[in-house]
Chain A
Amino acid sequence: MSSKTMNLVQSINSTLDYMMGKDDSIVLLGEDIGIDGGVFRVTEGLQKKYGAERVMDMPLVELGIVGMAIGMSVSGLRAVPEIQFQDFIFTAFDQLVNQAAKIRYRSGAQYNVPMVLRTPYGGGIRGGLYHSQSGEAYFAHTAGLTVVSPSNPYDAKGLLIKCLRMNDPVIFLEPKRLYRSQKVDVPDEEYEIPIGKASLVHEGDNFTFITYGSMVPTVMNTVSKNNLDADVIDLRTLLPYDGETILNSVRKTGKVIIVHEAPRTLGMGSEISAFISERAIDYLLGPILRVTGPDIPFPYRLEDYYMPNEMRILKAVNKLQQYR
């Protein structure tokens, strides 16, 4: 089986290319995605190959990009809008929550929105308040949306192919800190990764780490460096998240640490923690701990203090080690 070594940017780029070649209803639209190839170069070369009608350089208006993409998607196309930074999505929030997410339901399934909105999110690139936010909880709180976030080039391909064949709106969150940080083998042949299925990226008996996106490598490094006997669950899909994989692990280890970059209050960790306590409280040997970004705006100069890191994860590990 042939494969190529590639980073996250290359994986998403080549997957978009592959899918556009197969399906001419796929149209990309966003700011600077055409001639410039996108500010992170994720769409590099695609306009040259498929033309400006399929890779549309858009005026500077997020709500217009998303609104137009929804209109395209209810009328026979499969729009793939890019929001340059997830931080800029909020003027389009109304379109996502009140249009995209509700069209199938409110029309009695007469209409649906096969749209994949791609956007880089998260910190770690010295982006300050407006180029670093992790807003996944806003979207995961909205029935009708599907929210995914790959943590590596292999998953990115399989998830993106799957999303580009779905008939409902997807928020495809790309952890920008990982865009060029890792290269892995990505098979040339196509494959899908199912929605709502987490990946058990490390196995062990004493701890359950639940994480996703940019924090997966951070948790994995901490686990291997410190020889932690732990399950590491990469959620991959945030809505609907994989409850079964979580429970199977929790029942085995009894000790749970949830790690994400987004602020703690009402983040994904809150939901997962509540879910576990409703279904597996008898298996818990200690409190469910969360290692997350603090409940503050994302600081520029001091971002290293903001991001969850090995030291903070080990603090949680040590705390849980006091229990039995």
Chain B
Amino acid sequence: MDEKEKLIEAYRAMVLSRTLDKKIVMSQRQGRVGFYTPTMGQEATQIGVSMALKDEDLIFEYYRDVPLMLHRGVQPAAIIDQIMGNSSDSEKGRQMPSHYSAKEHNFMSVQSPVATNLPLAVGAAYSLKYRKKDGLVLTTFGDGSTSTPDFHAAMNLAADFDLPVVFLCENNKWAISFPVEKQTRAEIWKKAEGYGMRGVKVDGNDLLEMYKTAKEELERVRKDGKPVLIEAVSYRMGPHSTSDDPSKYRSDDVKEGSDKDPLVIAERKLKMLNYIDDGIIEGIKKDAKENIDRIFDEREKIPPPTPETMFQDIYEKSNWIIDEEKGEIL
């Protein structure tokens, strides 16, 4: 695939993700979905990095990475199945919405406690190095995560053992109601230096800038096997979750369609390159809308998992305690 096709595909994934995002939020308002953490505003950050990934790379993502997953090939149906917690969900409806697992695309299962995925990413990178396998490990997290002990531990260990980990901080400026300026006195990318690691900052709203930086940095990681911290600055255009009301704590909204919207920036730049025009844009948006509407209606009809599945997969082999409790409840 040449650069032009790659960028058009990336743009298509951005649109698909935005469309899915809005569909799920709207469905939540209609009472068709229980909960969701919108990703609007972070499409360029994630897809720019995804463009630089290879199939063998492992990803320890967090709960706002739908654009990354869609670009890497996870089907919208799989995202919707997880959101619904239906019987087709690969997690068997066990996790609240936005906590995906997709092993076939090397996505680890998502947890709620922030940054606890980071030390795991370091361990997985150790596995790659130990087995002399190609590939790197990408781990993603928000600006709030940089205050956790897990962030510190993981950064220190990855640098210490020279491991191929890409720490992608998706700085969307807000940790629920807490702004990044209060989260830390330091610039996030500069924290890398304290661990003896390379750190870079990039405009995470700009797909082309993001891709350029990710390509350079990931190539470097593949070559020298050492970690990097990428701070991608974007903006959480939506609420933290569908249960959150941002008007209580912020007024600096970035409106959809404004010139800070990553989708608008991508359109402008790709048009300047003559890769797309208004007709193509319209076609991509129309396709996405039709697809998502159709898939959503389809997946919504899938029944929930059967009750006995809640007692499965606690261990490889169940034990008498769980079996007895199952007997009492079912």
Taking a contact as CB atoms under 8 Å apart, the answer to whether B92 and A67 are in contact is no
Taking a contact as CB atoms under 8 Å apart, the answer to whether A111 and B119 are in contact is no
Which of B4-12, B146-154, B202-210 lies on the face that meets chain A?
B146-154
Residues on A with beta carbons closer than 8 Å to the beta carbon of B312: 109
The digit string for B149-161, where 1 denotes a CB below 8 A from any CB of A, is 1100110110010
Taking a contact as CB atoms under 8 Å apart, the answer to whether B123 and A68 are in contact is yes
**Chain B, Cβ-Cβ closest to A113:** B120
**Chain B, Cβ-Cβ closest to A79:** B123
Query: Is B131's CB within 8 Å of the partner chain A?
Result: yes
Query: Is A70's CB within 8 Å of the partner chain B?
Result: yes
Query: Is A28's CB within 8 Å of the partner chain B?
Result: no
Taking a contact as CB atoms under 8 Å apart, the answer to whether B157 and A64 are in contact is yes
A144 vs B123: C-alpha distance in the bound complex, in angstroms? 20
The digit string for A171-206, where 1 denotes a CB below 8 A from any CB of B, is 000000000000000000000000010000000000
Which residue of the partner chain, among A70, A76, A99, A168, contacts B316 with CB atoms under 8 Å? A168
Query: Is A94's CB within 8 Å of the partner chain B?
Result: yes
Residues on B with beta carbons closer than 8 Å to the beta carbon of A224: none
Taking a contact as CB atoms under 8 Å apart, the answer to whether B156 and A61 are in contact is yes
Give min CB distance, A97 to chain B, whole Å.
9
The digit string for B106-140, where 1 denotes a CB below 8 A from any CB of A, is 00110111001011111111111011000000000
Chain A residues within 8 Å of chain B by Cβ, number: 45
A44 vs B319: C-alpha distance in the bound complex, in angstroms? 35
Taking a contact as CB atoms under 8 Å apart, the answer to whether A166 and B127 are in contact is no
Query: Is B249's CB within 8 Å of the partner chain A?
Result: no
Taking a contact as CB atoms under 8 Å apart, the answer to whether B116 and A77 are in contact is no
A98 vs B119: C-alpha distance in the bound complex, in angstroms? 13
Taking a contact as CB atoms under 8 Å apart, the answer to whether B91 and A61 are in contact is no
Taking a contact as CB atoms under 8 Å apart, the answer to whether A71 and B122 are in contact is yes
Residues on A with beta carbons closer than 8 Å to the beta carbon of B103: 107, 110-111
Tell me the residues in window 48-103 of chain A with beta carbons closer than 8 Å to chain B beta carbons: 53, 59, 61, 63-64, 66-77, 79, 91, 94-95, 98-99, 102-103
Taking a contact as CB atoms under 8 Å apart, the answer to whether B111 and A106 are in contact is yes
Q: Indicate the member of A59, A63, A64, A76 with the most B CB atoms within 10 Å.
A: A64
Taking a contact as CB atoms under 8 Å apart, the answer to whether B101 and A240 are in contact is no
The digit string for B83-105, where 1 denotes a CB below 8 A from any CB of A, is 00000011110110001011100
Which residue of the partner chain, among A98, A109, A240, contacts B111 with CB atoms under 8 Å? A98
- Give 25 A-B contacts (CB < 8 Å), ordered by A residue: A59-B157, A63-B149, A64-B122, A67-B118, A68-B123, A71-B60, A71-B120, A71-B123, A72-B130, A74-B108, A74-B120, A74-B123, A76-B131, A77-B126, A77-B127, A99-B120, A104-B314, A107-B101, A107-B108, A107-B109, A108-B92, A108-B313, A109-B313, A110-B101, A243-B320
**CB-based closest 7 A-B pairs:** A71-B123, A67-B119, A64-B153, A71-B120, A107-B109, A68-B123, A240-B319
- A74-B120, A106-B111, A108-B101 given; 16 more Cβ-contact pairs under 8 Å: A27-B126, A61-B153, A63-B150, A64-B153, A64-B156, A67-B150, A67-B153, A71-B124, A94-B150, A95-B119, A102-B111, A104-B315, A110-B109, A111-B101, A143-B322, A168-B315
